[in-house]
Structure 1
């Protein structure tokens, strides 16, 4: 726990580790503190294997890379990659975990993300998982600097992110932006070809979402992308976008 302040003596650590009953916990602590030197030392001295499944002090099964990504510790991620970590050996998609953990922020966000991608992290992930694009859109919805957040979205699209990909609940990226009233990210997705007729698990299109939210600007933006095909579409409940607007207390 003193590692991030540069107070750890590696020889002293080696001596203590011979009595440590849970070496994985020490490695987890080094990751969480961003103590890259300590982490690298534990790997080089074979106290821990870079790709082994670990158990956190809280009892969670994970990997060092996943722990670094979810805790936003890019220096630890970089150290693990240098030591041949399998970035995809993680309970959660690596890029998604990094985005949600705050690993790709600031002026070097794209550089850091690019390094993880070049290490083999999947741009697209199986249905039922949080796709990197969905994670990036959610982050953009909550961002104080939307322009910077949209650079992440755009980077993923340039690298081949599936515009129809969803979060772990099956909600498409366009729906996420629309539900949040995030016009700029929704427009970016639509301009890149996001399918305006795509449905969520309830059978609703993004047009349904915009109508229910009383968001006239987004409604028009989406409707222009599918002038003849979106409006007649019904949800699994049999409701069109017009029905959503009529039911909504947000429409005046």
Structure 2
């Protein structure tokens, strides 16, 4: 019930479930807690105030609630979780950080960088966030933000390609 209430934004259901003893960190079939599924800042706040853990990982990809929020939700939730202590450079099972998995969203990229997101960390493929941004055709503003934070244009991934190679290969020069 608590997972469904978090996913649907049913605040009364969340509060009632918690009063009746629902476990705030109970995992569903995918290893996700209600905080992984929370769809608003208010729901996140209620769950955290009732003991929800920020760094618990799901069974699907090793994502924390913060990493899931980066992929799926509005920037206010991402910022809120960071303010409440989420680790900005935490990695999932593929060694991806928030900057590797963020959608093409300038506001989220700024938020992650402003909270200390590392620009030259490599994932399991050896890709840095700059490799990913260029490969996925992110807006030039997002790419420029990484470059201003000293993202390495000559760092090679496991295939021996630099972000510059990828820019040329993908006609993004």
Q: Is TM (by shorter chain) over 0.5?
A: yes
1:87 and 1:248 map into 2 onto residues whose CA distance is 45
Which of structure 1's runs of 4+ aligned residues deviate more than 6 A?
A: none
For 2:67, the equivalent position in structure 1 comes to 134
Q: How many aligned residue pairs are there?
A: 167
Structure 2, unaligned runs of 5 or more: none
Match of 1:194 among 111, 114, 117: 117
- TM normalised by structure 1 equals 0.59
The structure with the largest alpha-carbon Rg is 1
Structure 1, unaligned runs of 5 or more: 1-63, 105-109, 141-148
Q: Secondary structure at the match of 1:239?
A: coil
- TM normalised by structure 2 equals 0.83
CA separation of 1:167 and 1:78: change in aligned 2, threshold 3 A: farther
Structure 1 residues 27-50: Cα deviation after superposition (integer angstroms, max 9, x where no partner): xxxxxxxxxxxxxxxxxxxxxxxx
Q: Report the more deviating stretch, 158-167 or 124-133.
A: 124-133
1:166 positional shift: 4.3
Q: Secondary structure at the match of 2:144?
A: helix
Whether contact under 8 Å (2:6, 2:43) holds in the other structure is no
For 1:25, the equivalent position in structure 2 comes to none
For 2:133, the equivalent position in structure 1 comes to 210
Q: Which has the higher contact order (CA 8 A, sep 6+)?
A: 2
1:238 positional shift: 1.4
Q: Report the more deviating stretch, 218-227 or 184-193.
A: 218-227
RMSD: 2.2
CA separation of 1:72 and 1:170: change in aligned 2, threshold 3 A: farther
CA separation of 1:238 and 1:198: change in aligned 2, threshold 3 A: same
Whether contact under 8 Å (1:135, 1:167) holds in the other structure is no
2:124 and 2:159 map into 1 onto residues whose CA distance is 11
